[in-house]
Structure 1
């Protein structure tokens, strides 16, 4: 959620924080906050996503905690609340993301601080959690309250940069992520200063070690300004947050702005607006008085609007104060449960809020255990989704358009829809009346503005219960007919990736060239080869509890390539990996290349969702061993300047890797001609009834 201006106030008054040594404790982690920060603060994003680097960053973070005997428990946000309290706020953030994309594409990476989180980060993060066996859970909706309840029940701190946690009554405080120093230090009986001076040498495995962090406690803040704790929820609510439209508070803020402007406080000033709310809230005796005071200063709002505002203010205050019990899922029981069925706690039943049908228990189970993306919950519960704009050419069609067919099949699988029969008159009226009973509402972009696209699901026979039947269903959706599937002797994972590449090759708009395809396949092989190299050079990789899934056909080719030829391949790809790309955000042609690879990401993501909806019959690797789009961009850019490249400099002819490379490209490009753009549009309109508004 977040409180407007509160983080700036807290960090401006750094004396509020306490410096502590973090070790030998449980730690409740706001996972949805962490996975954003780990990418935005450490990994380049201007080329679409370097997921290998991101995965390594996440692993380093969690391994550091483990070395300090910190037991991490990761709690993720779930889907959008069906009550729509935060829907407008979410839409505004997505619109702001589109503007950030325009800024990033219009300038050199060094000239802007804007960030756009790549769309496969969440999936990459989950793979790291599973690989390192970090306990994790996804709450049905926003997780802040559940995190707070769990932290107090377990008597441990929270890790998050969400300013809401500055308000909750957390007995052991909150550790801001930006305040963490991951340098390992030995835990000795000496002063903090002398311990810090030993950072040049790494502690041994036998030593007890810690990391230095800053911890915020609500008690320090209220003691500093001499107010009771009930002051904090009032401050958070009337400063403005996701529950309350800030436009409705403008009259209130104007009324108190001058009244308190000359008052002094034992805090360094941050936002003048926030400081005026601080002074005002210090004199409030009750929550009801505060609500009535604000409503008396609201102009141009009808009685119904004021009633809704009152409810929003009340809900906001309650969301901060009621943290004695879990609201949606008992996380203590979840994390303490054994693996046998009898001991598993009730995950709760989700309801389709449009049709009012309960969703299957297995669906909720997969969502809670993060085996299914919250995107699918938003489809099944709310019948609407919002797409995150990628680094893409805003003058071109959205990168999500090319994968609409996959999603239309997906929507038919996981919703309770029935084909409506309607007259021509009813067809006109159904655009505005109960539209989500018939369609899934996709919030996408048209150029640099938000746009709704409504898609009627494609209804097919539900696949059988066997994994093989579900695999064939996925391959068919991706355009691999039974004859083509049978001709591919490869493993299911390889067939899946070939299907994604083929779908991308067929449906991309603007069309991609063969150089894009070559770069993608080389990228897959490159990251697999890097993983093998890391296994040999890094002792930490060998200590992971669970080795990650890899693509069997690529592994087999690498193992058969031999050391000398793999060294030759590594030498060649290093040229592209180390090549500078500082100019990419200034050139229209180069943005077009990035746009093409962003379309690949949406095809992969939609196919991934389809696989999850069918209970994952295909075992897929992490994006961290598939996608480094800076590398793919560099390879593609280099290929644009070459002619008749047989790739013998990377893969000696008739070597296992060359045969793999050639067979994948042949399966994608040569067995069927690509349809024309007009034919594709007709196909989409007939089968999905895309309705723009």
Structure 2
């Protein structure tokens, strides 16, 4: 949620906060808020599709700092939209804002902030690797967070203004005052603490004539939050004269906040305040307004979900989820974050919101490439049922889902037909209720057939890279504009650099890293570091790489829905946008990156195997440069281009056996 203008208003009043030296405590963290703030506050790349490795470094340092201070985190993530879909208008507005931000970033402007597409999945992988306990709520997490924090009697860490309204026993610590990068030591011991501030509900209410704190939910509803906008309340504001007092507030929103709080402070409880609000409302709207105010105020009550039971026993019971009668295995997987909110939105609402990236806005959305994968997901979610989807004009055909995606720079809704599973996939065993019981081999075949590959083709590559490699094969066939050889090489080189990173920083005890791998890895990092964020983007290249991430995202979601027949790749090392874009530019002008990699035999062999796997699947002309008709004057240039084509083909045919006798010679490439 979020109350319009409240966070900036309280931020101007130092007296509403208490200084803390945070240590030796549990803390409940708003997960969505945290990964937003960690990414945006760390000056990480937003133009090239995300530097997930750099984000992982920041996130790991954050949780390491908590450990140093003996702070025990519990992370709660938002789930999908609730069944009422009451926030749809707000969700659509935020989607429009993301489209505008993406456009600004694509033009080289600094007016946008946009998270990379896979950041949520990356964040969950980081939590899992660090063994930080986390849960994914069934819908919005705010009320679950309040219940858990009050049970643990510990503060909440977020930057959501709604937590100024909730009655929290141990208070709320805003993220912008949580100085985790400025670790301090106690004077009388060697113990560490994090300087922080706690918002004090008592001080806040005391500032307004000791206002009854039970009036705050009514204030939130009347002032307006992310899903509340009552025309009758605007009528109230147009008629009432609010006692602003000696306010020096310049912001119009702040004047309204202060005036409304002063006005509410004159009443003993919400019931008395509501009756006085209704005096300013038209007679025929009074009863409806009363009911809506009371219903919306309930949003600020703690939830009935016991996250204590989840963290102790893995049991997540939600009344909202029970009413929908979803399969138990789906509910468990959602709570554990093994299935994305995208899937629950599709399952419950028959509606999904597709996220935009920094792509070429003149072309169709990058999400278009993954439509066939989404249609398989939708088909599995229907599970053989023929439920109808209602529309404004009556009833749409069966098996229809709604998708919101961009067309140019506008947000548009489209109707998508779910795929009908064919062949032996049509049997009753693919019912959603029993999908988790389908034999692993059958689930794997369905996943690989959707991506257009077979297990035998992927065998030369380590199994933890099967999913991204299968996705790459799919992408080479359907990208538009068509991906070129250099795009594919840049992506696969990026994957290999991630494998180098793992070999060096998380080595297998049986296979310690060799010195040459470290030298090669450092040289690749120099390419990344030398890339300027101010360089003009090649929009079609960015669009093609965005399509690859879209394919990977939906490949991941399908794999999750099928209960992971393939290992989930380590996303923190799989794609580095800044590096991939730089490698693409280098590959267009020279073979330096490949020459450099040839100094590491093991990694060069991995790269070669992946290249040949994609080559076996790619369209026949994928590895050939298209020859344009040229005049006789350019005959010499044409001959040169044909020579380059022949050398490229020869290199591809002999990749595994390329000369690597002088390994260190390759390290002399110029950055």
Q: Which residue is 2:242 aligned to?
A: 260
* Aligned CA-pair RMSD: 3.1
Residue of structure 1 equivalent to 2:200:
217
Corresponding residue to 2:609 among 663, 685, 693: 663
What corresponds to 1:30 in structure 2?
30
8 Å CA contact retained: 1:387, 1:443: yes
Q: Which residue of 2 aligns with 1:467?
A: 440
1:145-156 pair list within 5 angstroms? 145-156=143-154
Query: Paired residue for 1:611, among 534, 549, 559?
Result: 559
Q: Is the 8 A contact 2:476 2:618 kept in 1?
A: no
Write out per-residue CA displacement over residues 136-156 of structure 1, whole angstroms, 9 at most, x where no aligned residue.
111111111121122112211
TM-superposed CA distance for 1:431, in Å, is 8.4
Give the drift of 1:55. 1.1
CA 1:298–1:439 in 2, change beyond 3 Å: closer, same or farther? farther
What is the CA–CA distance in structure 1 between the aligned matches of 2:398 and 2:271, rounded to whole Å? 39
Judged with a 3 Å threshold, the aligned counterparts in structure 2 of structure 1 residues 309 and 628 are, in CA distance, closer, same or farther, namely farther
CA distance in 2, matches of 1:480, 1:431: 40
Q: Secondary structure, in 3 states, of the residue corresponding to 2:549?
A: helix
Partner of 2:172: 174
1:365 corresponds to which residue? 332
User: In the aligned structure 2, how far is the partner of 1:420 from the partner of 1:134?
Assistant: 40
1:622 corresponds, among 570, 578, 581, to: 570
Give how far 1:13 is off: 0.7
| Matching residue within 475, 498, 507 for 2:469 | 498
- Asked if structure 2 preserves the Cα contact closer than 8 Å seen for 1:180 and 1:212, the reply is yes
Q: 2:366·2:543 contact (CA, 8 Å) conserved in 1? A: yes
1:91 counterpart SS class = helix
Matches within 5 A, 1:6-45: 6-42=6-42, 43-45=44-46
Residue 27 of structure 1 contacts residue 72 of structure 1 at CA under 8 Å; is this kept in 2?
A: yes
- Give the superposition deviation at 1:435: 3.3
SS in 2 for 1:230: helix
Alignment partners' CA distance in 1, 2:620 and 2:281: 59
TM-score (norm 1): 0.81
- Higher relative contact order (Cα pairs below 8 Å, separated by 6+ residues): 1
Query: 1: CA distance between counterparts of 2:89 and 2:343?
Result: 20
Partner of 1:345: 315
Is 1:16–1:220's contact at 8 Å kept on the other side of the alignment?
yes
- 2:544 counterpart (576, 581, 596): 596
Report the Cα distance in structure 2 between the residues aligned to 1:360 and 1:524, rounded to whole angstroms.
Answer: 36
Contact 1:467 1:617 in 2 (8 A): yes
Q: Cα 1:57–1:451, aligned 2, differ >3 Å: closer, same or farther?
A: same
Q: Distance in 2 between matches of 1:280 and 1:292?
A: 13
Q: CA deviation at 1:443?
A: 0.8
Q: Distance in 2 between matches of 1:517 and 1:69?
A: 45
**Residue in structure 1 matching 2:394, options 396, 421, 433:** 433
Query: Following the alignment from structure 2 to structure 1, what is the Cα–Cα distance between the partners of residues 521 and 533?
Result: 23
Q: Distance in 2 between matches of 1:262 and 1:420?
A: 54
SS at match of 2:183: strand
When residues 385 and 212 of structure 1 are mapped into structure 2, their CA distance, relative to the original with a 3 A threshold, is same
Cα deviation for residue 447 of structure 1 reads 0.7
Does structure 1 residue 446 correspond to structure 2 residue 407? Answer: yes
The unaligned stretches of length 5 or more in structure 1 are 191-206, 338-343, 422-426, 537-546, 548-554, 677-693
What is the aligned partner in structure 2 of residue 330 from structure 1?
A: 306
Of stretches 99-108 and 487-496 in structure 1, the one that deviates more from structure 2 is 487-496
Name the CA distance, whole Å, in 2 between partners of 1:224 and 1:529: 57
Render the CA deviation track for 1:58-91: whole Å, top value 9, x for unaligned: 1111111111111111111111011122111111
Q: CA deviation at 1:511?
A: 1.6
Structure 1 pair 362–458 and aligned structure 2 pair: CA distance change class (3 A):
same
SS, match of residue 524 in structure 1: helix
Q: Deviations over 1:122-143 (max 9, x none)?
A: 1111111111111111111111
Residues 61-72 of structure 1 mapped to structure 2, 5 A cutoff? 61-72=62-73
Cα 1:649–1:36 change in 2 (3 A) is same
**CA gap 1:126/1:309 in 2 versus in 1, 3 angstroms:** farther
Structure 2 residue 54 is the aligned partner of structure 1 residue 81: no
2:451–2:470 Cα contact (<8 Å) kept:
yes
Q: Deviations over 1:101-132 (max 9, x none)?
A: 12222234xx43x2111121111111111111
**How big is the shift at 1:609?**
0.4
Q: How big is the shift at 1:346?
A: 5.4
My pick for the range that moved more, 618-627 or 289-298, is: 289-298
Is the contact between residue 350 and residue 364 of structure 1 (CA under 8 Å) also seen in structure 2? no
Contact 2:50 2:116 in 1 (8 A): yes
- Per-residue deviation at 1:531? 3.3
Distance 1:604 1:285, change over 3 A: same
> CA-to-partner distance for each residue in 1:348-401, whole Å, 9 max, x for gaps?
587699xx6x22101100111111111111111111111121111111111110
In structure 2, the residue corresponding to 1:454 is in which secondary structure? strand
CA distance in 1, matches of 2:519, 2:256: 62
Q: Equivalents in 1 of 2:614, 2:168: separation in Å?
A: 55
Question: Which residue is 1:92 aligned to?
Answer: 93
Asked if structure 2 preserves the Cα contact closer than 8 Å seen for 1:392 and 1:399, the reply is: yes
Partner of 2:298: 318
Moved more, 54-63 or 285-294: 285-294
- Map 1:214-253 to 2 at 5 A: 214-226=197-209, 227-245=211-229, 249-253=233-237
CA distance in 1, matches of 2:451, 2:259: 57
Cα distance change, pair 313–392 in 1 and its aligned pair in 2 (3 A): farther
What does residue range 94-113 of structure 1 map to in structure 2 within 5 Å? 94-108=95-109, 111-112=110-111
In 2, Cα distance between equivalents of 1:41 and 1:319:
30
Q: Call closer, same or farther: CA 1:210–1:479 in 2, change over 3 Å.
A: same
TM-score (norm 2): 0.83
Distance apart, 1:622 and its partner CA? 2.7
